Amino acid sequence: MKIAVLLSGGVDSSVALKLLQDQGHDVTAFYLKIWLEDELAFLGSCPWEEDLKYVQEICTTSQIPLEIIPMQKEYFDTVVAYTIQEVKEGRTPNPDIMCNNHVKFGLFFDKISEGNFDKIASGHYAQTYEKDGIHYLKQAPDPVKDQTYFLSRLSQKQLAKIIFPIGHLPKEEVRKLAEQYDLPNKSRKDSQGICFLGKFKYNEFLEHYLGERKGDLIEEGTGKKWGEHKGFWFHTVGQRKGINLSHGPWYVVRKDCAKNIVYISTHYHEKTRDTLQVTNLNWFAGHPPEKSQLKLKLRHGPEFHQAQCDFSTNTIKLAASDQGIASGQFAVFYDGDICLGSGMIV
C-alpha cells in the first residue's frame, strides 16, 4: 500500500515507519511542524529542532522520502484556541484528544489527500477492529501505554484510513526493535506532557494568554476567606497543588468563574463522587450500545471503572468513587477491550 507515516522523532513512530518499510509498503514520512516556538520561545527551549534532526536522519539512512508540513496556524486555530476557551469557561480541556481528531488525522489528511495514500500510519499504541462494516478501536496489549483514550473522538472515515503498526506490541518489544534497527533515537526517552507545550510549563502557557487576576480562596461550607489566588484558570477541581495554605491539605472543590472565586476544602475526599453527566457523545457505531454495563476510562492510563450507563439521560453511575471527575474532560466507553466511543463530562 501507499502509506503516509506521521513521524515525530520519537521511538514509537520511528519503529512504525521501519516496520512498514520492511513489509514492502510504499512509505512517505511526514513531520508536522506544530510547535509554538516563535510565540512562546521566552518560556524555554522547545524540542522540535531535536525531533526534526532525528526524523531527517532516519529518513536519510532508510532512503524514505520526507515532507515537512507547517501547521502552526491550523494547530492554533483548533487545538490551542479550544484549550484557552475551555480554561476560560472553568473546564478542564484535553488538547491531546483534539490534536488527534482535528490535526493529525483531520487537517493533515486534507492536506495530503491529493497524494492518494491508501492509509495514514502513526506510532500510537492502539489497534483497529472492524465488525459488520463498522470500525472500532481495540486496546493495545500494553495497558499502561494504550492510547485508545486519546483516539476516542475519531470518525468512521478516519478510523477506516488509519493503521497502527506497533499497536499490537508491548513497549519493551518496540524498544528491542529500535535496537535491532539501530535507530539514532533508540535510547531516547518518551515525550511527556501536553502535545503542543513540549517542555513548557502549563501554568506559564496559561499566564501568557490569560494573564493574572487575583481572587479569593473561600472555604466551602463556612465561607471563610483563607487567602488569594492568581486566577481561577490556574486551578482544577480536585487539585491540591498550588494552594499553599496552612492547616491543610486543601483541595479545590469548585470555581465561580464569573466572580473569580475558588472554593476549597480539607474534606474533599469525604464526598462521594460516583456520578457524572456526559454530552457531545461520539459513538463509532453511530448510536449508543445496547449494553448498560460498560467499562469506563476517565483519563489516560490503565485504570478502568465499572459503570452503569443510562444513555437516555446520559447519566453514568460508577461502581467506585473517583475524586478526579472534571467537567470538560472525556469519559471513554469500552466493551471488553473494544473502545466504543466517548462523551464530554459536564
Residue 296: exposure state from Cβ atoms within 10 A (0-12, 13-18, ≥19) = buried
For residue 222, the SS3 value is: coil
Asked if residue 339 lies in contact with residue 270, where contact means CB atoms within 8 angstroms, the answer is no
Ordered DSSP codes for 121-164:
E---S-EEEEETTEEEEE--S-TTT--GGGGTT--HHHHHHEE-
Sequence-separated contacts (24+) of 128-134 with Cβ below 8 Å:
128/159, 128/162, 128/163, 128/164, 128/167, 129/338, 134/284, 134/285, 134/286
Q: How far apart are the first and last CA of the chain?
A: 42
DSSP state letter for 284 = T
Residues whose CB is less than 8 angstroms from the CB of residue 9 and which lie 6 or more positions away in sequence, other chains included: 31, 47, 50, 51, 52, 53, 54, 55, 185, 188
Residues whose CB is less than 8 angstroms from the CB of residue 295 and which lie 6 or more positions away in sequence, other chains included: 304, 305, 306, 307, 333, 334, 335, 336
Catalytic member of 46, 59, 195, 339? 195
Residues whose CB is less than 8 angstroms from the CB of residue 179 and which lie 6 or more positions away in sequence, other chains included: 186
Among 114, 107, 115, 166, CA closest to 141: 166
Q: What nine digits make up the cell of 51?
A: 525531533
Residues whose CB is less than 8 angstroms from the CB of residue 32 and which lie 6 or more positions away in sequence, other chains included: 6, 69, 71, 103, 104, 108
Spatial separation of the C-alpha atoms in residues 201 and 206, rounded to whole Å = 9
Single-letter amino acid code for the residue at 3: I
For residue 103, the SS3 value is: helix
Q: Clarify whether 99 is annotated catalytic.
A: yes
Catalytic member of 99, 257, 309, 339? 99
Residues assigned a catalytic role: 99, 195
